[in-house]
Amino acid sequence: MTEARFIPLAGFETYPESEMLARARSFYEEVARRRSVREFSDRPVPEALIRNCLRAAGTAPSGANMQPWRFVAICDPVTKREIRLAAEEEEKHFYAHRASAEWLEALAPLGTDENKSFLEIAPWLIAVFVQKFGQLPDGRKVKHYYPAESVGLATGILITALHHAGLATLTHTPSPMKFLNRILGRPPNERPFLLLVAGFPAPGCKVPDIARKPLEEFAHIHEPGTN
C-alpha cells in the first residue's frame, strides 16, 4: 500500500466575520442571478475563457482523488451540427414514446420540445463524461470511487465558473447519450453525464417564469436537542 504523504495547506485565507458574511451574501446574490438559457447568441467566446473555467472544474473533490471526469469542449460547427441532429433524434423518441404523461406535464412550464437549435447556435458545447474506471498504460483497470457524485461536483463548479465569467449555460441531457461517445471518439470506460451549452444569451432572451424554493423549504438548521 502506498504511504500517505502530506504537505502544508497553502493558499487558505481567513477573513473577519463581518467580511465572511458579506462575501457569503455577495456570492449568493451572484449565483441567484444564474438562469438556464435556451436562446443563445452566436457571439464568439474566447477559448482561453473556457479553458480557465475547465481548470476551475478540475479543482473539485472526488472519491479517493481519482478525478473521474472528462470534459470535451466543442466549438467546431460541423461537430456541433452532428451532435444537434443526434440529440434531436433521441428527443423525438423521448417526447413521442418514452416520456410519461406525468413527465411531460412536469416539463410543460419550461416550454421544451425536441427542437434543440441552441446546440448549433451557442459557441461552445461541453460534453461531460464519467470515467467508470481508469486505465493504466499497461492496460490494467483502476477502480473509481463515487464517480457520478464526483463528476456532479465538478460540473457544478464548472457551471458556476462560467456564470461568474459572464456566460449563460444550459444543462442538456438527451437520453440515451451514447452518440456522444461515437461523435467525439470517447472510449467505452467513459459514460456521457450531460451536455453543457455555454455562451451569451440571445438579444431579447426570455426564460420561464419560475421561482426557486425558499431556504426554509430545502434546508434545516439542526439545533442541539431538537428533531
- Report how many domains make up the chain: 1
Residue 226 is predicted with a pLDDT of 67
pLDDT one-digit tens code per residue, 164-197: 999 999 999 988 899 999 999 999 999 999 999 9
pLDDT one-digit tens code per residue, 175-184: 889 999 999 9
Instruction: Kindly report the length of the chain.
Output: 227
- Position 27 in a domain: no
Residue 32 is predicted with a pLDDT of 97
CATH of the domain at 131: 3.40.109.10
- Position 175 in a domain: yes
pLDDT one-digit tens code per residue, 3-47: 889 999 999 999 999 999 999 999 999 999 999 999 999 999 999
Query: How many of the other CB atoms lie within 10 Å of CB of 103?
Result: 12
- Position 209 in a domain: no
- Position 108 in a domain: yes
- Position 21 in a domain: no
pLDDT of residue 122 exceeding 90: yes
- Position 37 in a domain: no
- Position 36 in a domain: no
Structural domain harbouring 92: 49-200
pLDDT of residue 97 exceeding 80: no
Residue 1 is predicted with a pLDDT of 64
Residue 224 is predicted with a pLDDT of 84
Residue 128, all three cell numbers: 461531460
Q: Cis bond leading into 77, ω under 30°?
A: no
73 vs 96, higher pLDDT: 73
- Position 217 in a domain: no
Residue 223, all three cell numbers: 439545533
pLDDT of residue 105 exceeding 90: no
Residue 227 is predicted with a pLDDT of 64
Q: What long-range pairs does 108-112 form, CB within 8 A, spacing at least 24? A: 109/208, 109/210, 110/208, 110/210, 111/208, 112/38
